[in-house]
Amino acid sequence: MVRAAAVSDVGRVRKTNEDAFYSDTDMRLFAVADGMGGHEAGEVASRLALEALSGFIRRSAADTDFSWPYGLDGTLSFDGNRLRTAIHLANRRVFRTAETNDDYSGMGTTIVTLLMNGAHIAVGHVGDSRLYLLRDGRLDQMTQDDSWAATILAHNPKAHPSELANHPMRNVLTNALGAREQVDVHLAERDLQDGDTLLLCSDGLHGVLDAAMLQTVLEQYSDVDTAARTLVQQALDRGSRDNVTALVVRFEGEA
C-alpha cells in the first residue's frame, strides 16, 4: 500500500507559484518541479515538464509498442529507462516551447521524480529539487543538487556548507530542464522496505529546514497530509522567501 500527499504554497514574497507537483498512487508516479523564468514562464515550465513526464509514463504503462527516442541504458531496469526517457521528453517539451515563444525565452525548471513498481523504485532528477528517504530512524538525501554550491563542496572536501551559506552564487543551477536541447539526467534505483517514507521537495523547503527538522516532522506525523502541511508551514514560519512544496510518500508494503 502506498499513501501520498502534497502541499504547495506560493509563499509570502512571490506573486505566483512556479512550483508544481504530480502525485498518482495508482500509477505510482510522484514528482516535484520548480520553474524559473520571467513573465510567469517558470509556472509554465514546471507545468509542461510534469505533463510530458506523466504522459509518457502513462502511455508506456498501457502500451509496450512505443519508441525509445533517447536509447536504452543497460544499467537501468525497464522502469528506470521509462523514467529516463520521460525526463528527456520533458526537457524537449520545455526547450522547444521556450524556443518558439519570446515570452518564455530562457525558462526552465528543476524536477525530481519517483516511479514505483512494487517495492522497487526508480528516482530521476535534474536541478536542486530533492528526494529524501527516511528509514529506521535515519534520513538520507538520495539526490545531489545540480548547483554551484554542491559542485564546490564535491570538489573541495575541506569546504563546509556554512562557508557557502551566504555566497551570492550558492543557488545558481548548473543543470535544469529546458535550458538546453540536451540535459544530464541523474537516475538511481533501489528497493524499499515496509514503513519507508519518501519526501520530494523544492528548495523553498530544504533551503530553510535542515535534515534534522525534516526528520522530526516525518517521524512525528504518520498521516502524510499532516506531515506535508506541517513541513510547508514550518518553512514559511522560518522565513522561506520562495515557493514551498512538499510531497510525502509512505510505503507500507505490498498486499
Summarised one tens digit per residue, pLDDT across range 67-126 is 889 999 999 999 999 999 999 999 999 999 999 888 888 899 999 999 999 999 999 999
What's the pLDDT at 167? Answer: 47
Between these two residues, 8 and 64, which has the higher pLDDT value? 8
Which pLDDT value is given to residue 14?
87
Share of the chain above pLDDT 90, in %: 76
The residues, any chain, with a CB within 8 Å of residue 215's CB and separated by 6 or more, are 134, 139
According to the model, what pLDDT value does residue 164 have?
A: 45
Stretch 241-253: mean pLDDT: 95
* Residue 171, Cβ density class (10 Å: 0-12 exposed, 13-18 middle, ≥19 buried): middle
What does the block give as the cell for 79? Answer: 522502469
83 in Cβ contact with 187 (< 8 Å): yes
Segment 145-190, tens digit of pLDDT: 986 555 554 555 655 555 445 544 456 688 899 999 999 999 999 9
Residues 6+ apart with CB under 8 A from 190: 120, 121, 123, 142
What phi, psi does 165 have (nearest 5°)? -60, -35
pTM of the model: 0.92
Which sign does the torsion angle of CA 76, 58, 96, 241 carry?
negative
CA-to-CA distance for 5 and 203, rounded, in angstroms?
18
* pLDDT attached to residue 48: 97
Contact 31, 131 (CB under 8 A): no
* Widest Cα–Cα separation across the chain: 51
Residue 158: the pLDDT is 55
**pLDDT tens per residue, range 179-218:** 999 999 999 999 999 999 999 999 999 999 999 999 999 9
Tens of pLDDT, residues 14-63: 889 999 999 999 999 999 999 998 667 999 999 999 999 999 999 998 87
- Compute the distance between CA of residue 148 and CA of residue 130 in angstroms, rounded to an integer: 15
Task: Output the pLDDT for position 39.
Answer: 66
Q: Do residues 57 and 86 touch, judged by C-beta distance below 8 A? A: yes
Q: Please report which helix (H) or strand (E) contains residue 130, including its range.
A: strand 130-135
- Enumerate the β-bridge partners of residue 108: 36
Cα 6-7-12 angle, rounded to 5 deg: 160
Residue 59: the pLDDT is: 93
List of domains in the chain: 2-251 (3.60.40.10)
pLDDT in tens, 129-140: 999 999 999 999
* Three-class secondary structure assignment of 18-83: CEEEEEECCCCEEEEEEEECCCCHHHHHHHHHHHHHHHHHHHHHHCCCCCCCCCCCCCCCHHHHHH
Sign, CA dihedral 67-73-78-84, equals negative
Can you give the pLDDT at residue 172? 67
